[in-house]
Chain A
Amino acid sequence: MEELLNDVVPQEDLERFERKYQQENKVNGEVSIETKFEYACCLVRSRYTNDIRKGIMILEDLAHVHPEGKRDYIYYLAFGNARIKNYTEGLKYCRAFLDIESNDQVRALEEHIKKQSDKEVAKGMAVAGGAALVLGSIIGLGIAMARK
């Protein structure tokens, strides 16, 4: 799972699908589902958070307008959210998927997200604990000084 999430789309591929998307938009005033999907798949594999967010937006839209492909969209929504550390959202999509279909690929992603999110929580608590300690000492020091 780690390898899948760390894998970054080759820039030239991303650009190729972006061009296809823009071309269709310019010529037809709208973009086909196929092209939207291909572009979104590349975007969520980008190294940049903004690209991934854009990919997520396209996928959310696709999930509404094209229910037949929902399975793929939900997986990529979970995947994209996992890549930008949006763990709550990521888990939400994994569960939505697994409610409908038992699937090892999605289960592996879900487990990975859970593990990462637990790690983040632990890190957060450590930081909060440290901050509380520092704050406590400053206040303590302040009180001690004030008493003097």
Chain B
Amino acid sequence: MSFTVPKIQSIVNKLYEHIDYFVEKYPNMTAAPYNYNYIFKYIIIGDMGVGKSCLLHQFTEKKFMANCPHTIGVEFGTRIIEVDDKKIKLQIWDTAGQERFRAVTRSYYRGAAGALMVYDITRRSTYNHLSSWLTDTRNLTNPSTVIFLIGNKSDLESTREVTYEEAKEFADENGLMFLEASAMTGQNVEEAFLETARKIYQNIQEGRLDLNASESGVQHRPSQPSRQSISSEAMHAKDQCSC
């Protein structure tokens, strides 16, 4: 059977039709390649008023938010960072610290790749509650979740109630990463978020984190269009066009 010109043309036209249909239905699939290679999910947890939202705001906006009201339920922030020449999109869920939200915010822990656990160095009670926050985190996340302890408000040295050494010891005993930071001055805020990402990335490189597990909190997006996708929508799209 020989391929005549009209035949080829009709095939090409058919192909175009398919492409058009596809582009219309799945704009995200055929758009320019993602400008990031990974998505990491973070949660920020800790007592009310320790400065969780202010840390997030400082990290995403590089600004200090004075008079920050109590978060209702959960807030969301995102920023693209770079680790090892790889672009990583951080999706950060900032939970409310008020006790009445404790039960409902637990549903955000699942599938977190990183957990930032925050206390206030000027309020001992927020430090004393860490073990309960840690228990929740261990119970609701997976073993490879990176937990980073942040002692916030390090600018308020004169009213400090928790020493660095004490918290460092607690962190070491429990295998947590640890820094004191200040959402107000910005000191160590970048470091805390970035070091968590570096640790997660290291876990991926060393095979400690299974990317295919649905609750790893990490999504990988190779930049080529013919990507192996994780999102169900894209999987669906694949099924559709296998005609």
Contacts and interface: CB of A to CB of B under 8 A. Distances in A.
B104 A41 contact: yes
Given A10-B110, A101-B69, A72 B100 contact: yes
Contact of B71 (A13, A79, A105): A105
Nearest to A108: B75
A69 B100 contact: yes
A3 B65 CA distance: 22
Contacts of B177: none
A76 B100 contact: no
Interface residues of B, number: 17
B1 interface: no
Interface string B51-83: 000000000000001000101111110100000
B103 interface: yes
Given A3-B91, A34-B100, A37-B100, A72 B72 contact: yes
A71 interface: yes
B91 A42 contact: no
Name the prevailing secondary structure of the B interface residues. Answer: mixed
A87 B38 CA distance: 34
Interface string B23-67: 000000000000000000000000000000000000000000100
Contacts of A41: 73, 101, 104
B205 interface: no
Given A4-B76, A72-B72, A105-B69, 15 more contacts: A3-B91, A4-B74, A4-B75, A9-B107, A13-B106, A17-B103, A34-B100, A37-B100, A38-B103, A38-B104, A41-B104, A42-B107, A71-B72, A105-B72, A105-B75
Interface of A: 1, 3-4, 9-10, 13, 17, 34, 37-38, 41-42, 69, 71-72, 75-76, 79, 101, 103-105
Interface of B: 65, 69, 71-76, 78, 91, 100-101, 103-104, 106-107, 110
18 contacts: A3-B76, A3-B78, A4-B74, A4-B75, A4-B76, A9-B107, A13-B107, A17-B104, A34-B100, A38-B104, A41-B73, A41-B104, A71-B72, A75-B72, A76-B73, A101-B69, A104-B65, A105-B75
